[in-house]
Amino acid sequence: MKDSVPIALSSICLITCLSFAATTSGKPDVVDGENYPSGRIPQVIKNGKYPRTYFPNTEKLGKNEMRITAIGTGMPNQTPTNAAACFLVELGNGDVFLFDLGVGSTDRLSGLQLDYAKLDKVFASHLHTDHVGDLAALWVAGWLSGRYTPLHVYGPSGARPELGTKAHVDHIRAAWAWDVFARAGTLPNAGGELVAHEFDYAKTHVVYEENGVKITSFPAIHIMDGAVSFRLDWNGLSFVFGGDSAPNKWFMKEAKGADVVVHECFFSPEQWMRISGFPYKQAYWVTSVIHTPPEGFGKIMSQIKPRMAVAYHYWNHRDIEFEMHQAIRKTYDGPLAMAADMTVINLTKDHVEVRQVTFDPEAWPQGTSREWDTAPRGEPATDVMSDWLKAGAVKGMNPPPTQPLE
């Protein structure tokens, strides 16, 4: 009897492992032309009755629906519950857009197990780390996880060329040359490209227009020249994203009457003094000159009158958040979402649903597609190591291949 316990446990383990191996796949399932993690079959939402919690890849986005997910809602000195700024927009026509991509946001983004081939467009409001700090991470991780086309970064110019988006992207590409060069041949050629689309920060103009989607950029006021906000219009629905900015006339005009309007809601000077230890003079400058504090956020939304106002860009610790909510309500009494990381908003012409995402913290990417497999590749990087270094390899340690390599 003593020996039967480990035998039984071993049997259970073997059965479990065999079952796991038999039921998992490295390739996504294709449902109505869209890639989903193996085994996921999304359901159609009927009559506007959404589950209280959004579980990724379980709901089919309606053809006239927009889904907005707050991937990161925090600051440069992010906390365990707040990655830096990033909002994901998915449309019923299949298009996907990222607005900002701050530090830590790719960790949160991975939990959604999206098709990385679609995560190829980032719109940057400005070039602070808490708004674009994860560009390199998405560039390489997305390439490894299924993107076989370039990653496109749309962002503003600066007061001088070296302060604009093109220079920023060029330096990222140069900084990670060793990383990208070493992957040649193993991964699709085009997926290793990083392309900057720089536009004039000082103008209100359309910076993207494809497939019925129009994205307009307009100036923002944040520390120095080179910050913008965006408005996305599609199929009669509208989404406005503000990065960092003090209240300004461009935002008031371009966001007027939009469906979902996201604007930063920074701390009050007193809160920032209490949290950070800043003296009042510096605390006021940070919170109320280069950012927008809660009462200012409320005044903006009272004039814009969106179907849903979304506050973000603060640490969402409950004691602070309650104070911020009370301050907003002094100046705004309309629909309001205090966004945390993974707040999700479903938008149609007659319904707005606000929920939270729940995902598996051990999730991995959904898997590379057949299109990724067959995308053009160059020669593998086999001759980029010195002979003396290659001679240091110990032979016979790794097992030989069990399948043809050609």
Structural domains present in the chain: 73-357 (3.60.15.10)
Element holding 234 (H helix, E strand): strand 228-234
pLDDT in tens, 9-65: 444 444 444 444 444 467 999 999 999 999 989 999 999 999 999 999 999 999 999
pLDDT in tens, 173-222: 999 999 998 888 899 999 999 999 999 999 999 999 999 999 999 999 99
Does the predicted model carry a pTM greater than 0.85?
yes
Contact status, residue 341 vs residue 70, Cβ threshold 8 Å: yes
Q: Which pLDDT value is given to residue 245?
A: 97
Share of residues in the chain with pLDDT > 90 (%): 83
Give the contacts of 387 (CB within 8 A, at least 6 positions apart).
Answer: none
Q: Distance of CA 215 to CAs 92, 104, 123, Å?
A: 16, 25, 9
Give the contacts of 257 (CB within 8 A, at least 6 positions apart).
Answer: 304, 305, 306
Check whether 255 has a pLDDT greater than 60.
yes
> Cα 270 to chain center, whole Å?
31
What type of residue sits at position 186? T
How far is residue 237's CA from residue 212's CA, in Å, rounded to a whole number? Answer: 11
Mean pLDDT score across all residues of the chain: 92
Check whether 100 has a pLDDT greater than 70.
yes
What is the pLDDT averaged over residues 227-231?
98
Q: What tokens does 214 get?
A: 């129009």
Residue 342: is it exposed, middle or buried by C-beta count within 10 angstroms (0-12/13-18/19+)?
buried
Between 269-276 and 318-328, two packed helices, what is the crossing angle to 10 degrees? 170
What is the pLDDT averaged over residues 254-276?
95
Q: Distance of CA 157 to CAs 127, 169, 222, Å?
A: 10, 12, 14
Q: What tokens does 132 get?
A: 């674009």
